[in-house]
Amino acid sequence: MVEKKEYRMAQLETIHAKPEALISGSMDDELESRMLRVIDSEAPILESLLFKRVINSMSLKKAGSRILPVLDRIASSLPVRITDEDGERVFHKDGEEPCFRPTPDSAVRYSYQIPVEEAVCCLQFILEREKRIITKSELSKLFKAELGYDRMGSQVDALFRKAAKSSALKRTGNGRFTI
């Protein structure tokens, strides 16, 4: 059975860092430490959200063209499992079991920040819970509700479509989903 866990957003102390300090390499250890804390709390996590969490914790608005290579270099050397999802890296922590995590109201995580593997786990959870054959349109409504979205916008729909194509999901001869 696929497990449902609560999503926990990493709590990082906010510091005021200058872009020059990050570029110089003097903050590499701090950046690595922050990345590992975010991964420990939020993995599996897409690279874009990982970088956003770290940059925001340093009182910077965005990872510009000068800072992004620094973040990329440090992230590439982290002692964690890294996979690829449509050209973006996904960072995993050791011993992590596949699950899905609805985002609580206290955290901000948009549908484009949710790894497809987590969306697949959500669909598996719904199918196991419902214990019946479900049409694609009904499954998409249950998916949206399970993840806590009010409507099926284009980004939520894109996540659903990617997840629904997974070979981990079973389909009947007429294309409906089943356990």
Q: Which domain holds residue 122?
A: 100-178
Structure confidence by residue, pLDDT tens digits, 31-69: 999 999 999 999 999 999 999 999 999 998 876 788 999
**Do 79 and 104 reside in the same domain of the chain?**
no
Q: Is the distance from CB of 119 to CB of 21 less than 8 angstroms?
A: no
**Do 42 and 84 reside in the same domain of the chain?**
yes
Residue 2 placed within a domain: no
> Where among 92, 125, 146 does a domain terminate?
92
**Do 156 and 121 reside in the same domain of the chain?**
yes
pLDDT band at residue 150 using 50, 70 and 90 as cut-offs: confident
> Where among 46, 76, 92 does a domain terminate?
92
Domain count, the chain: 2
pLDDT at 152 over 80: no
Is the CA virtual torsion 18, 21, 22, 24 positive or negative? positive
Task: Please choose, from the candidates 10, 131, 154, the residue with its C-alpha nearest in 3D space to the C-alpha of residue 140.
Answer: 154
Neighbours of 42 (CB within 10 A): 22
CA distance 76 to 86: 17
**Do 104 and 85 reside in the same domain of the chain?**
no
Question: DSSP characters for 104-126?
Answer: PTTS---GGGS-HHHHHHHHHHH
Structure confidence by residue, pLDDT tens digits, 76-107: 999 999 999 989 999 998 888 888 888 777 67
